[in-house]
Structure formats: structure tokens, C-alpha cells
């Protein structure tokens, strides 16, 4: 059987099967890589959250161990300083979060 039409049909069929297998392999590998990337980013976010919470607990413990000021003027100044420090820390966390999101994208 040297019919060129039949021969072309089987070549086309074999080509389609090979392309389908390669496409399936590529999609499977891509999804696997995406899953690994997602898992890594979730782990990085979990570690970052734990680090932030640990720092907050440490600073809270330090703040509670300090003696409280007795005068109202001293407490007002300390309160304002604490507010300023918290604002600065929030700005740092926002900046770090923006950098993290930029690298995760």
C-alpha cells in the first residue's frame, strides 16, 4: 500500500498525537512549577508573619518591663514618642510588604 493519501493521514495522525503529548507534558510541568512557586511564596509570607509577630511580642514585653513615668508631662511625651515610633515602624512594614509583593509578581 503506497497510497500517498493514506500515508499522509497516518503522518498527520502521528504528528497530532506527538504534539498532544508534548503539550500535555509542557502544561503539566508548568502547573507543577507554578504550584512550587505558590508554595514557596506562602512559606515566605508565613515566615514573615511569624517574624513580625515575634518582634511585636518582644517589643511589647520590653515596653511592659519598663517603669511607667509618674508625671503627666512625661507620659504625654512618652505617648507621643511611642506613636511616632509606631508610625515609623508601620511605614517600614508597608515598604517591606511592597517590596515583597513586587518580587513575588
pLDDT tens series, the chain, 105 aa: 578 999 999 999 999 999 999 999 999 999 999 999 999 999 999 999 999 999 999 998 888 887 765 656 566 778 888 898 999 999 999 998 998 888 876
Same domain, 31 and 79: no
Same domain, 82 and 62: no
Same domain, 60 and 90: no
CA angle 23, 24, 26 (to 5 degrees): 65
Same domain, 76 and 62: no
What pTM value is reported for the model?
0.47
Same domain, 33 and 81: no
Same domain, 47 and 21: yes
Give the span between the Cα atoms of 43 and 21, in whole angstroms. Answer: 33
Residue 68 has what pLDDT? 63
What's 66's DSSP letter? S
Domain count along the chain = 2
Give the span between the Cα atoms of 20 and 14, in whole angstroms. Answer: 10
Three-state DSSP at 1 gives coil
Give the span between the Cα atoms of 13 and 19, in whole angstroms. Answer: 10
Residue where the block lists cell 499522509: 8
Amino acid at each position: 500500500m503506497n497510497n500517498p493519501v493514506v500515508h499522509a493521514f497516518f503522518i498527520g495522525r502521528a504528528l497530532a498525537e506527538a504534539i498532544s503529548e508534548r503539550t500535555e507534558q509542557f502544561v503539566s510541568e508548568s502547573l507543577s512549577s507554578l504550584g512550587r512557586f505558590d508554595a514557596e511564596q506562602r512559606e515566605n509570607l508565613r515566615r514573615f508573619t511569624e517574624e513580625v509577630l515575634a518582634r511585636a511580642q518582644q517589643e511589647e514585653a520590653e515596653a511592659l518591663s519598663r517603669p511607667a513615668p509618674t508625671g503627666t508631662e512625661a507620659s504625654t511625651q512618652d505617648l507621643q514618642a511611642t506613636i511616632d515610633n509606631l508610625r515609623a515602624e508601620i511605614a517600614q512594614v508597608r515598604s517591606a510588604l511592597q517590596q515583597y509583593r513586587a518580587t513575588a509578581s
